[in-house]
Amino acid sequence: MLVLTVNDIRKVEKNANDSCISYLQLMENAGSYCARVIRKAFENTNKRNVLVVCGKGKNGGDGFVIARKLLENGYNVTVMMTDGLPVDEESSEMLSRIRASGVQIVYYDSKAENTAENKYFDNAQIIVDCVFGIGFHGEATDSAKSVFERINNSKATVVSVDVPSGLYGDSGDVPECHVKADITVAINCLKPVHVLKPSDSACGALVTANIGIPDSCYEDVSRPLFTLSKQEIKSCLPKRRADGHKGTFGTLLFIGGSFEMPGAAFLASESAVNSGTGIVKVAFPDAAYPAIAAKTVEQVLVPLKSNENGRISVKSLPRIDKEINSCSAVVIGCGMGVDGDTEEITRYVIENSPVPVILDADGINAIKDNIDILDRAKSAVILTPHPGEMARLAKCDARDVQDNRGAVVKSFIDAHKSVLVLKGSSTLVCSNEQDSIYVNTTGDCGLATGGSGDVLAGLVGSFCAQGADPFQAAIAGVYIHGEAGETVSEEYSLRGNTPSKLIKQISKTLKDYE
């Protein structure tokens, strides 16, 4: 589904107003759709008492339309104005229409504790939250906070229009005081607040309202976000041929591991073994042979010469060249370490691999001072940085990355040829060859543990090796990785979620994708 920022939404609506649908008609369409959602949601109940709580902006204008439409359909409707009269022309017009309809209109007084206002909240069976819209920013006033508290403390079912009041349209942040919705009706399309964590959980069940804006109004939106359903993710993966053999399902080469970090190469390669790759090879420094050989049973081992640091020596390039020319995809970087040798090996693989390269962990760190090498890549390159690694690539602080995730990935992709997977809560996947950015909706904080990223790199590499398009392999990898992680957290706990449990769960989760 399409996900647009606040600025992009305003641009689309302006395009519509300038060409085919007025702001007033858009408001009428939005309110009418929301009223239909409410009628459908409660058609098999006896809930008929509705309190529509309206602010002075356009979100309140939507509320006036909802009140009128519900009144026309036999509901008992009260409109509560929380901040005086509306300030925009369209909302003022919609207010005049409900005055003519006979809807009861009351005005909220935050000082009237346990008196008149309380009866409206107490009597309501459905509360429609239209206090603030997607443009809200800063901190709510004390009066607004008191409204939020009364909504949240009521026994009514809460339906928020576009966004639960008090949340920010473009952010996943959750302020201390905000409306907690049971249902949120997203006007026109989803916004970042609906899909980013942890704000997504404050939105309740999501419904998207089609308010009639034609596709032509979206044409000048730059790299919008989108989400995919599980069924759509399934279509990203190549079909498993009934007459296939191990050669049919690809050969994946891992280049990584070191004397210091042998476990990363094992976790990444084990993830690939458990996700359908025909042959999995692990190329690692022979200094780590005892640790890696003791753990790997189903992988083909390719021990390479070690340097004095216990990492892969540059003298191993001839063997590496042979291996990258006989595989379907390459994952490089997991536990590899960074020094002159591994930097040169990484550059060589990027420039010479005829198959997709997944660059993870130290593979990313190895090119942080030579990012332009991505433009000389022989095949597709997928980078899977966490925020710290992304900060090194973007020459900024990790906090800057977290505060501006969408802008950071757009800037990077516009400048460098690659597929970028910015890991974290609500992982983003984008490509210089795509017009939009995928935002992942699966996963939880149980995945925030060392080794989880190695498992993801192995999963993305596995799908590439099996023949998936690199962008789709990345999307499917992060979705299934997150879905499996949620299952592990549910079975054990958020604290008990480990990479080894995750790998075992991935093979079970993939049953739904066959």
Segment 225-250, tens digit of pLDDT: 999 999 999 999 999 888 889 989 99
Are residues 242 and 133 located together in one domain of the fold? Answer: no
Q: Give the model's pLDDT for residue 251.
A: 98
Check which CATH number belongs to the domain holding 102 and give it: 3.40.50.10260
Regarding whether 323 and 191 lie in a shared domain, the answer is no
Residue type, 179: V
- Given this model, what pLDDT does residue 244 score? 87
Per the structure, the count of domains in the chain is 2
Residue 193: phi and psi, rounded to 5, are: -60, -30
Q: Does 199 lie in the same domain as 284?
A: no
The Cβ of residue 409 has, within 10 Å, a number of other Cβ atoms equal to 22
Of 198, 221, 244, the residue at which a domain comes to its end is: 221
Angle at 199 (CA atoms; ends 152, 55), nearest 5 degrees:
50
Domain boundary among 190, 221, 252: 221
3-state secondary structure labels for all residues of 391-459? HHHHCCCHHHHHHCHHHHHHHHHHHCCCEEEECCCCCEEEECCCCCEEECCCCCHHHCCCCHHHHHHHH
Spatial distance between the Cα atoms of 12 and 323, rounded to a whole number of angstroms: 50
> Is residue 163 located within the same domain as residue 57?
yes
With a cut of 70, say whether residue 115 has pLDDT above it. Answer: no
* Residues 297 and 430 placed together within one structural domain of the fold: yes
Residue 374 lies in a domain: yes
Q: Could you read off the pLDDT of 422-467 as tens digits, one per residue?
A: 999 899 999 999 989 999 999 999 999 999 999 999 999 999 999 9
User: CATH no. for residue 242?
Assistant: 3.40.1190.20
Q: Do 436 and 480 reside in the same domain of the chain?
A: yes
Which helix H or strand E contains 330, and what residues bound it? strand 329-332
Interatomic CA distance for residues 439 and 423, integer angstroms: 10
Domain assignment present for residue 211? The answer is yes
Who contacts 156 (Cβ-Cβ below 8 Å, separation ≥6)?
51, 121, 124, 125, 126, 127
Contacts of 495 (CB under 8 A, 6+ apart): 446
Total Cβ atoms within 10 A of residue 87: 14
d(CA 110, CA 382): 54
Same domain, yes or no: 217 and 296: no
Query: What is the reported pLDDT for 403?
Result: 85
Is residue 226 domain-resident?
A: no
Q: Are residues 259 and 198 in the same domain?
A: no
The three-state secondary structure class of 510 is: helix
- What pLDDT does residue 494 have? 96
The residue behind tokens 């640790």 is 291
pLDDT recorded at residue 358:
98
What percent of the chain stands above pLDDT 90? 91
Average pLDDT, the chain: 95
User: Does position 179 have pLDDT exceeding 90, yes or no?
Assistant: yes
Q: Name 219's Cβ contacts closer than 8 Å, sequence gap at least 6.
A: none
- On whether both 314 and 425 belong to a single domain, the answer is yes
Please indicate, yes or no, whether residues 51 and 171 belong to a single structural domain of this protein: yes
Could you report the per-residue pLDDT of 24-60, keeping only the tens digit for each? 999 999 999 999 999 999 999 999 999 999 999 999 9
Boundary-marking domain end, from 221, 254, 280? 221
- Structural domain boundaries, residue 128: 2-221
Is 227 inside a domain boundary? no
Of the pLDDT bands very low, low, confident and very high (cuts 50, 70, 90), residue 273 is very high
**Using an 8 Å Cβ cutoff, are 211 and 33 in contact?**
yes
Q: What is the pLDDT of residue 33?
A: 97
Residue percentage of the chain with pLDDT more than 70: 98
* pLDDT tens figures, 319-356: 999 999 999 999 999 999 999 999 999 999 999 999 99
Q: What is the mean pLDDT of residues 135-147?
A: 92
Let me know whether 197 and 254 are in one domain: no
Judgement on whether residues 270 and 142 belong to the same structural domain of the protein: no
> Could you read off the pLDDT of 292-323 as tens digits, one per residue?
999 999 999 999 999 999 999 999 999 999 99
Q: Is the pLDDT of residue 63 over 80?
A: yes
Report pLDDT for 379. 97
